[in-house]
Chain A
């Protein structure tokens, strides 16, 4: 699986607010079944454009992420399983 992760990719949790990025790979194995299902339902998928918009006030958790035309709040832990590549 690791071979898929391009060396330039970072976890979505590491991305600076307002940085547009494209999802390169999602580490489904790091998520339990329900969480993985929810992420898919919210439209997280390889190749989709995302952008972190807001951070929770305590411990910078959760993270509000724009996915397509939707904004979704996810916990930092889950964001870490989403590997993205910033769009320049």
Chain B
């Protein structure tokens, strides 16, 4: 069977490439990675008028064929037929922002020089018109020597014409592909400006909306205030909007677990399915609503063009600790979960900037730490009110968040002066026009993330959970023995205990630390399990757990446990994603080591200071 004809969609960032790709392919998309690199490959299927399917691939946005980032290198290599895991495209659709011709044409000229059958989609013509720019597509077609189609991807205008042109292009005989001729960039730019001038019929220089909005949003005083307000609303929403769906998922998991429990005979297999698979995966899936709400905000902020403005506002501060403004977004996402945060570092061009951001991302207090914090605070911190509206419990919670942020800034500073020394890569970004992202694009983005998250829950997390369950259940305890001491996990915990004893941790905590590697929040259920397995006559439950903790742990131990969780890399997914994003084991191992050392020191200091203070 012949492979489908492959058509690549290329263009500058902010040219509306993704919107055009979505308009052409709809939801029939496949998102993956190019082998060996961490660049996303987005492909979809387009059915032509006569029913013939073709494959469309959305190349990463680039400014030229001389790559400045891994993304741009993939774009070049695919077009030259050198990219592993991709055939050379049979044809090319270049997306141009109609109101940015003088700049976008340079890349287009470079692409046309490649000699692939090419169509130019002159996109966002409506915005150009609104900006007072009138273009002559026929003149552009003459100058470029390839067909030019006017489109407004977000309103599906010109899409049918573009499809017809793709059809024509694929039907006509193709000529050979040139090698990449490295034309002088300056020459190309001047030629681009000439063509742009020739294609512009009339122009009144206005970008009214973007201009007016920037005057407020980038204002030296209001800009940061508005950014802070947006962040505040976003965090409120991540917790408030997802509370109900999280409870539903929790109930659904509990119901399902009950059904399976009743349907199976008691024994090792039931324990594996119920306590291992369902409980473990269920605990993680509960976080899906939070992650989706967070991504909704991130996609919205990105799609409207505000995200780049946030990076602009924060750049100087981030620069102070050796990061760039671009690190702001990934670190922000890491408050929900470090995994998407680390994936979001792909937008950082400079490799050292990017690596530093990846290494400090786990220090941002992710949502999986919340159940741990909540439990320990409820058990050990009295619910007293300090002043109006400020309670001691809330203050401790806030302190834990601040410790994480402070730790991250400090770590970045030290890393940039030590192992990742070198000039920072600078900060150059285009500030695109503001626009409303089409709802459909946001929905597609959220669904893609949900799919990736659930796939991970079904594979990696399911696997680790089963292994941990096995370690905790084998061998079975005889009469008079404690399961938590007899099992393999119990023996490992005894080993860990000798190491963590000096920082105030007991055998229960040592046992909980191990499964908490799969996901931090598992620490809570692990401790609950230990107490319920050891004394099966007691009914397990939140109040019972709090009572148990109060009897078995001292206050310094509890505080040390909190300090540990601020810093410890207790999450296999984070380690796995770091390995994938840095292409090797070196940096994840470094990250795990430095975070464990930090956690050990912080917990130890907390414990000994608390003991000395007589708490």
Contacts and interface: CB of A to CB of B under 8 A. Distances in A.
Interface of A: 32, 34-35, 37-43, 45, 53-59, 61-62, 64, 67-75, 77-78
Q: Interface size class for chain B?
A: 35 or more
B312 A73 contact: yes
A56 B316 contact: yes
B492 to A, nearest CB: 48
B103 A70 contact: yes
Q: Is the interface of B mostly helix, strand, loop or mixed?
A: helix
Interface string B212-227: 0010001011011000
Nearest to B64: A41
A59 B423 CA distance: 19
Nearest to A61: B316
Given A45-B189, A62-B316, A75 B103 contact: no
B168 interface: no
B326 to A, nearest CB: 11
Nearest to B313: A57
If over half of A's interface residues share one DSSP class (helix, strand or loop), that class is named, otherwise mixed; here it is: mixed
Contact of B100 (A41, A57, A69): A69
Given A57-B221, A64-B312, A68-B103, A34 B189 contact: no
Interface string B107-140: 0000000000000000000000001010000000
A81 to B, nearest CB: 11
B150 to A, nearest CB: 18
A73 B103 CA distance: 15
A38 B429 CA distance: 9
Interface in B180-204: 185-186, 189-190, 193
Contacts of A57: 220-221, 223-224, 313, 316
Contacts of B100: 68-70
Contacts of A39: 428
Contacts of A73: 308, 311-312, 315, 427-431
B63 interface: yes
B325 A69 contact: no
A34 B68 contact: yes
B86 interface: no
A44 B133 CA distance: 22
A43 B190 CA distance: 9
A17 to B, nearest CB: 11
Nearest to B318: A58
B315 A78 contact: no
A70 B63 CA distance: 13
Given A55-B220, A59-B316, A69-B102, A74 B189 contact: no
Nearest to B311: A73
Given A37-B68, A43-B103, A69-B100, A56 B428 contact: no
9 residue pairs, one from A and one from B, having the closest CB atoms: A58-B316, A41-B63, A54-B218, A71-B431, A57-B220, A68-B102, A43-B103, A38-B428, A61-B316
A40 B425 CA distance: 16
Contacts of A34: 68, 425
A68 B429 CA distance: 15
From A39, A40, A62, A68, name the one whose CB has the most chain B CB atoms within 10 angstroms.
Answer: A62
B189 A35 contact: no
Contact of A38 (B68, B205, B316): B68
B66 interface: yes
B160 interface: no
Contacts of A43: 102-103, 106, 189
Given A34-B425, A45-B186, A53-B214, A70 B430 contact: yes
A48 to B, nearest CB: 8
A61 B186 contact: no
Given A34-B68, A69-B99, A70-B103, A56 B426 contact: no
Interface string B304-337: 0000100111011101000001000000000000
Given A35-B428, A37-B66, A78-B426, A58 B317 contact: yes
B431 A72 contact: yes
A68 B100 CA distance: 8
Nearest to A41: B63
